[in-house]
Amino acid sequence: MNKNIIILLICGVFLCCKITSVNTDAKGKYILKTPHSEITIKSNGEFYYRSFQGLIKPISEGYWELKEGNKLILNSKDKYKSGYIEQVKSALNRINTSVITVFDGENNLNKNGTIYINDNPKEEFKLNNDGKVELDSKLNSISVLTLDGYYTLKLDSENYYDISVKARHEEVNDKFFKNEVFILKKSSLISESGQKYIKE
């Protein structure tokens, strides 16, 4: 066998072993003393987070990956995302009317909110018992005021819309990680803010 091929094969085996070793080292439970928090890195590519802050006990679950050998990146599952508004259905209306339907985070119709349109606080409309507002105005933005928050959605262009949105309040018992980076050391995880989680 060609000597160069043998060297390449040996290097490939060495690199594979090295990557496996790093991934193996990542798995385990990491603990932050103050405020007491835990991150468990699982072998199936998932993680579990929980924290104890008096009466508030935020949790999260999601997926992790390693980049550049020592950067551990966490992304939570969507169900832990809160404090946001998103467009769930949208179509241009051919008649000169806009219809807005508002749901809460659990996909129930929101019957108690107030709608503001086009960044104008004077353009105020109450949701009806079907969670809807119908108006004869073009829309370029929608703001929803509920009992627990105020959320604004910018639209792609000004037009008449038949649109449904979901507004979910900020949930103190959920923690949402989005591309959150931790530096993996031999026996610890260090957050971007410098918090050090020690491996158990």
* The pair of three-digit structure tokens given for residue 18, joined into one six-digit string: 């090295």
Which residues make beta-bridge pairs with 37?
32, 51
* The pair of three-digit structure tokens given for residue 44, joined into one six-digit string: 């199936």
Write b or e for each residue in 102-120: b if 16 or more Cβ atoms lie within 10 A of its Cβ, otherwise e.
Answer: bbbbeeebbeebebbbeee
Give the C-alpha separation, 100 to 161, whole Å.
8
Terminus-to-terminus CA distance in the chain, angstroms? 47
pLDDT, tens digit, for every residue of 149-170?
888 999 999 999 999 999 888 7
Give the C-alpha separation, 100 to 96, whole Å.
14
pTM above 0.75, yes or no: no
> 84-168 has which fold?
Immunoglobulin-like (2.60.40)
pLDDT, tens digit, for every residue of 109-136?
988 889 999 999 889 999 999 999 999 9
Report the chain's mean pLDDT, rounded to a whole number.
86
What is the model's pLDDT at position 77?
Answer: 94
What is the model's pLDDT at position 2?
Answer: 54
Cβ 57 vs Cβ 51: under 8 Å = yes
What is the model's pLDDT at position 58?
Answer: 92
What is the model's pLDDT at position 69?
Answer: 86
Q: Which one is the CATH code of 3-77+173-199: 2.30.40.10, 2.40.128.360, 3.40.50.970, 2.60.40.1180? A: 2.40.128.360
pLDDT, tens digit, for every residue of 61-90?
999 999 998 999 999 998 898 888 889 899
Domain boundaries, the chain: 3-77+173-199, 84-168
